Structure 1
Amino acid sequence: MSDAAPAPLVPDVHAIPRRQPVEGKVNLVGLTRAALREALIAAGTPEKQAKMRVGQVWQWIYHWGVRDFDAMTNLAKDYRRLLADNFTIALPEVVTRQLSADGTRKYLVRIAGGHEVEVVYIPEEGRGTLCVSSQVGCTLTCSFCHTGTQKLVRNLTPAEIVGQVMLARDDLDEWPAPGTGTGEDGPRLVSNIVLMGMGEPLYNFDNVRDAMNIVMDGEGIALGRRRITLSTSGVVPEIARTATEIGCQLAISFHATTDEVRDILVPINKRWNIATLLDALKAYPGLSNSERITFEYVMLDGINDTKEDAHRLVKLLEGIPAKVNLIPFNEWPGAPYKRSSGNRIHAFADIIYKAGYASPIRTPRGEDIMAACGQLKSATERARKSRAQIAAETGQ
């Protein structure tokens, strides 16, 4: 890493309390490099020094995980004082942390305004995936998804999105030790990010883009673009921008092979139907066999899991470098569907595979703490509602 801060002076960041935003002070977390430069200049940093100062502060925050300006030891004391007087380094608050029997961790996180979202860390052999939320609630009302029963409250800011990654690194104690490099040379318990938590990322495009560009920056958290996957239900006008402005991997929450069924499962289909969505995907910039689109397909008993569905899906995928991620339905209180049988899921996967597409069956993780795919929902809201109320919301 170029111009790195003196490694032996890196403090124990976990000895520093996680700061909450201070009224009147600008939170540096979530600012792009350009915005950080402007903020430092506005606070009194000479313009000639601004580029250097941005690099130094950026590395302290995003590479070393430091939250205390006094610990930024390659900055003069008076400049550290200037930073402390004008800025804060604040993350969302972890309200609760649940640990599944399979090692999955779920965090209930409180953000500005007292709102809450959930974040999930899934450890696997040789990697660890963090499932990040982009909105409080969701506007899409997908009928199989627990989060879809919670109304949209607001978009998350870049600070709140990046903050989810940072608080997970705190909990996993994976900020670099002195002398450790960035990128692939650094600790990588959080090796992958999926924007598959609460919300539709492409309805919060600008904030998601800025947050992911911060995460991908090589002098900070330094996750490569191919280690980040954005999942959308099909917000067609923003799909091409995902490739050009973020460059991450793309996943489509697909789940049906006819408009009639997808209109029910994924109601956004009424606005942008299957044909319109597939046309946008065929034109996706940079699409190739090494840059495939993932089609997520939840397996619902008697709804979308027949052999005919599998053959229709193969036909729909023609001309799109793709893989199909089959997801056994994860039930939640009041859910209107049941999981397809193992035999039916494997038969479906076999048809997809024989047609030349990878068709892995996702192993459900964190079900005992309601952390599996489609189960995320504010724990506090869940606690306020009875099973009957949740069932009534889903039409059961």
Structure 2
Amino acid sequence: MTATAPITQDLITIPRKLPEDGLINLVGLTRNQLRDVLIAAGTPEKQAKMRVGQIWQWIYQKGVRDFDAMTNLAKDYRVMLAGNFEITLPEVVTRQLSEDGTRKYLVRISGGHEVEVVYIPEESRGTLCISSQVGCTLTCSFCHTGTQKLVRNLTAGEIIGQVMLVRDDLGEWPEPGRNPKDETRLLSNIVLMGMGEPLYNFENVRDAMKIAMDPEGISLSRRRITLSTSGVVPEIFRTAEEIGCLLAVSFHATTDEVRDRLVPINKRWNIAELLEALRTYPEVSNSERITFEYVMLKDVNDSDDDARRLVQLIKGIPAKINLIPFNEWPGAPYQRSSNNRIRAFADIIYKAGYASPIRTPRGEDIMAACGQLKSATERARKSKKQIDAEAGLS
């Protein structure tokens, strides 16, 4: 498979501030972009690389937001920084805590729009589910987020800002004088499984994840970052080459007829085209395997025949299959498969040689579970009849 031109959409993207518009936010700038704005503000070119490294560590390794606290920089240089730049994160509007420890944040970004972010603590790790768009363009019929219209892409700063503000809340920035590697990692994994389709916002997602992986900053391994796509085939190769993180695919069906209804992007790139792209991913990205996400919908995609077809479809692809009990939401046109049916489905996959963990729903009491995210201000109340019609059930 060869790289293709990036997918474009008719989206409104908020540009980074130009100098004449006010202070430039440094959060989300790549190292090269940071170098360019520092030089434009008067930093001598010979010093620029060093200054980038110093400022980068203060922002992403130590979590510092005040230029005056950057004590290895000369005082007059700090004054210059404060006069030209800012270090600003999205605003936390509300924070909800589930009975199981899951935290859901409603986060306000530029323009007054809001997205949701979820932190899931587990015994051996802490996973942060972040958003890449305001709303979603894919209209997957089982997904609550998909009933919200797409507003715009998030910037790289708004994406990595979600990681930083949760680290604030967890108190995870290293204590002064301590090596960050000595700190306990409460936020150890990132999954791009929140609002939006990450591969329809590729450049901003890539730049944000490069910041997350940078060894002089937040320093997360690429194997601790998972990008979930519904199947934007032309961008899968770019993801392998330019990000190299783990890949998850919202699969959810074993025939084009059913997947067309559940995941409408299948009408553009069908199952065969998607699988062809996925077969090259592990080798190009040096990833161990691909995760196939499969939401269990009663009498829709949960039969023994579906399980057997799934095994045949992914044959030859290093993979695991995450079975996701459907997380119901008000007006949802589907029901969750029974526990016995899910276990029977999982058993067929397991006996075929694939790991088939059944995801434990987390944060259901605060609508923070998979497929339930939907920001309050953008929430459009739809009747069950409307939702059924859009899902092709009426």
Both proteins in one fold, TM over 0.5: yes
- Between the aligned residues of both structures, percent identity stands at 80
Q: CA deviation at 1:242?
A: 0.7
Q: CA deviation at 1:394?
A: 4.5
Distance 1:288 1:204, change over 3 A: closer
1:64 to 62, 65, 83: 62
CA distances 1:273-320 after superposition (whole Å, capped 9, x unpaired)? 000000111122526996100000000000000000000000001110
Conserved? CA contact 1:132–1:164, under 8 Å: yes
2:383 to 373, 384, 389: 389
Aligned pairs for 1:263-342 (under 5 A) are: 263-286=260-283, 291-342=288-339
Conserved? CA contact 1:322–1:357, under 8 Å: yes
Match of 1:250 in 2: 247
Match of 1:128 in 2: 126
TM-score (norm 1): 0.91
1:353 to 337, 350, 354: 350
SS of the equivalent of 1:286 reads helix
Distance in 1 between residues matched to 2:49 and 2:286, nearest whole Å: 39
Distance in 1 between residues matched to 2:316 and 2:285, nearest whole Å: 10
Q: CA deviation at 1:186?
A: 3.1
1:84 to 82, 85, 93: 82
TM-score (norm 2): 0.92
Distance in 2 between residues matched to 1:81 and 1:158, nearest whole Å: 26
Distance 1:328 1:334, change over 3 A: same
CA distances 1:343-366 after superposition (whole Å, capped 9, x unpaired)? 000000000011000000000000
Distance in 2 between residues matched to 1:301 and 1:233, nearest whole Å: 21
Unpaired segments ≥5 residues, structure 2: 1-16
Conserved? CA contact 2:245–2:287, under 8 Å: no
Distance 1:120 1:148, change over 3 A: same
Conserved? CA contact 1:123–1:129, under 8 Å: yes
Q: Partner amino acid for 1:150?
A: Q
Distance 1:60 1:355, change over 3 A: same
CA distances 1:139-179 after superposition (whole Å, capped 9, x unpaired)? 00000000000000000000000000000000111001123
SS of the equivalent of 1:284 reads helix
CA distances 1:172-216 after superposition (whole Å, capped 9, x unpaired)? 11001123323x533311100000000000000000000000010
Conserved? CA contact 1:335–1:391, under 8 Å: no
Distance 1:41 1:391, change over 3 A: farther
Distance in 1 between residues matched to 2:190 and 2:199, nearest whole Å: 16
Cα root mean square deviation, aligned: 1.6
Conserved? CA contact 1:116–1:136, under 8 Å: yes
SS of the equivalent of 1:379 reads coil
Distance in 1 between residues matched to 2:85 and 2:205, nearest whole Å: 23
Match of 1:236 in 2: 233
1:150 to 122, 141, 148: 148
Unpaired segments ≥5 residues, structure 1: 1-20
